[in-house]
Amino acid sequence: MEILDKSLNFIEQIVTEDLASGKHQEVISRFPPEPNGYLHIGHAKSICLNFGLPQKFGGRCNLRFDDTNPEKEEMEYINSIKEDIKWLGFDWGDHIYYASDYFDQLYDWAVLLIKDGKSYVEDLTAEQIREYRGTLTEPGKESPYRNRTIEENLDLFTRMKNGEFKDGDRVLRAKIDMASPNLNMRDPVLYRIKHAHHPRTANKWCIYPMYDFTHGQSDALEHITHSICTLEFEDHRPLYEWFLNNLPVPSKPRQIEFARLNLSYTVMSKRMLLRLVQEKVVDGWDDPRMPTIAGIRRRGYTPEAIKAFADRIGVNRMFSTIDFALLEHFLRDDLNKKALRVMAVLDPVKLIIDNYPDNQEEMVEADNNPEDENSGTRQIAFSKELYIERNDFMEFAPKDFFRLSIDKEVRLKHAYFVKCTHIVKDDTGTITEIHCTYDPNTRSGNSTDGRKVKGTLHWVSVKHAKEAEVRLYDHLFAQENPYDVAEGKDWIETVNPNSLVKIKAYIEPSLTEAKPSVPYQFLRNAYFCVDSKYSTPSNPVFNRIITLKDTWAKLQKK
């Protein structure tokens, strides 16, 4: 008996067996989003899985839009989904399809089920259908319309198609088993009437197939070998297979379910995300606090970090919630390798070097990224007056405070040693100026006499600095599980009021030309990127991608 590679997840093991047995010659998977909203990071895991399988084993992945509900579908969503997939680094090539491509064939198959006595037109209301379906412990009861003649069903279904009835008047149901322990098998609805304009088929149809009737047959028409779904579709699999076994489909795909991604401090429901957008809790689907792919892309996340995260959490069948800090760990790891190091002061106080010549300016050399020897260096202007971070100075400092205080010496990054002599305060007692002297023999941060200092501060030249808006993002929700609210409370009340803080900061002049796709580490602060939506060269806006502190990595060391 062949022993499977334990490094493979359970889906990869199935694929390996199917290829080894000759059941399939290649892997054909599909990613089937419904264009009724923006994709989120849970979809990113599914994208990585569905596109990753053919990359690993040979084959292709189809992109297929499940456009069976015209009232909720928009071209905006279709275009955003395409952009998200490409941003993650995947390509469907020529294999882009729509469920609406198969509407004619699906209709013909629905007629075939009627002719075979396996479906019927239902006159009960939606509420009555639910009542007749029964419960998990009680069987359903048959509809009084279940035993209509084939001729009557064909006539009514044709009239449904021709637009003779109003929305909700009738549906087409499969005739399976009202006593089945699986509620999905209790005569499920196949078609409903919707007099709605479709983005692709316009007004050709006023009846539309349900997802369960569309999905498996679409897979079969595209010769999908492995149809990967999340676990909520496990109970739908018998119905998926019933359709394949009762229709003359050209192939028999296999549905396999895996556990969906759940993250702490966020929600993964399109309905809930849509509410956040509609109630303007966030700035649209691409708000950097949203878990949408568009949102995290605007925030500054990288596709490499998302794919590394997806690979790390793996594929299994157990429900779990992943700590958001794990995602942040992979993001920091990637940003550390590629982010350019720059200086920006977020809470400025003026530092004046009294013994530096008044009108003198000089350029100091700074490395762009010590983690990347090919990143090169840049020149930064240095002058008499600088901005430093307010919390980098303490008037009465304890012994373990290694930054600046009176009579203490520190290094200015890429520049000189400075020593504080005195400070100036305003009428409220707030420090407005820190006065220092510098040692001209310590250029580039090295003293000629060999003395050492423990503290190194970042800075920007007052004369050369540019003002920027900096947006400090945090978790959108204040509690780890936003769904866990007391009875009578609304989950939206758990939104973190401090999830976005806007401040004015001073940045290096070069950052006015920063590109949205380029990440930066503001030295000693956090990772940032240009906001692709609002930033301009004259009014730069930077988003905090993530802080420098890695909580997940530290937890693993305990």
**Successive 10-residue mean pLDDT values, the chain, 558 residues:** 69 96 97 95 96 96 96 90 97 97 98 98 97 96 97 98 97 98 98 95 97 98 97 96 98 96 93 96 97 97 97 91 95 96 97 96 93 90 98 92 94 96 96 97 80 93 97 96 89 95 96 92 97 94 94 58
pLDDT at 1: 37
Spatial CA neighbour of 195 closest among 169, 227, 232, 226: 169
**Integer Cα distance of 505 and 123 in angstroms:** 65
What is the distance between the terminal CA atoms of the chain, rounded to a whole angstrom? 41
With a CB cutoff of 8 Å and minimum separation 6, the contacts of 528 are 300, 344, 470, 519, 520, 521, 522, 542, 543, 544, 545
Cα 327 to Cα 40, 109, 126, 310, distances in angstroms: 14, 45, 42, 9
Give me the phi and psi of 445, to 5 degrees please. 85, 15
The owner of tokens 């003026």 is: 350
Please check whether the two domains, 10-258 and 270-340+468-557, share a CATH topology.
no
**80 exposed, middle or buried (CB, 10 Å; 0-12, 13-18, 19+)?**
buried
Strand order across the 27-31 sheet: 27-31, 59-65, 96-98
Q: How many Cβ atoms from other residues are within 10 Å of residue 474's Cβ?
A: 15
Task: Please state, in angstroms and rounded to a whole number, the distance separating the CA atoms of residues 101 and 275.
Answer: 31
Instruction: Pick the catalytic residue from 141, 200, 260, 419.
Output: 260
Instruction: Give the pLDDT score at 169.
Output: 97
Comparing CA positions, the residue from 507, 502, 504, 503 lying closest to residue 466 is: 507
Radius of gyration of the chain (CA): 31
3-state secondary structure of 31: strand
- Bridge partners of 437, per DSSP, are 419
CB count, 10 Å around CB of 506? 21
Predicted confidence at residue 73, as pLDDT, reads 83
Measured CA distances, 449 to 384, 442, 452 (Å): 24, 9, 9
pLDDT at 550: 74
Ranges of each domain in the chain: 10-258, 270-340+468-557, 344-458
CATH top-level class for 344-458?
A: mainly beta
Q: Match 């489909």 to its residue by tokens.
A: 249
Fold of the domain spanning 10-258: Rossmann fold (3.40.50)
Separation between Cα atoms, residue 393 and residue 345, nearest integer Å: 13
Give the contacts of 236 (CB within 8 A, at least 6 positions apart): 184, 212, 229
Please tell me which residue in 133, 161, 192, 270 is annotated as part of the active site: 270
Distance of CA 58 to CAs 19, 23, 97, 224, 307, Å?
10, 14, 20, 13, 19
Specify the pTM: 0.92
Secondary structure of residue 184 in the 3-state scheme: helix
34 is an active site residue: yes
| Alpha carbon distance 495, 323 (integer Å) | 18
Q: Tell me which residue has tokens 């305060």.
A: 425
Q: Catalytic: 260? A: yes
Neighbours of 464 (CB within 10 A): 15
**Residue 376, pLDDT score:** 92
* Fold type of domain 270-340+468-557: Ribosomal Protein L25; Chain P (2.40.240)
Residue 50: the pLDDT is 97
HSE at residue 326, side-chain half, CA atoms within 13 A, is: 16
Contact (CB, 8 A) for 290 and 298: no
pLDDT of residue 129: 97
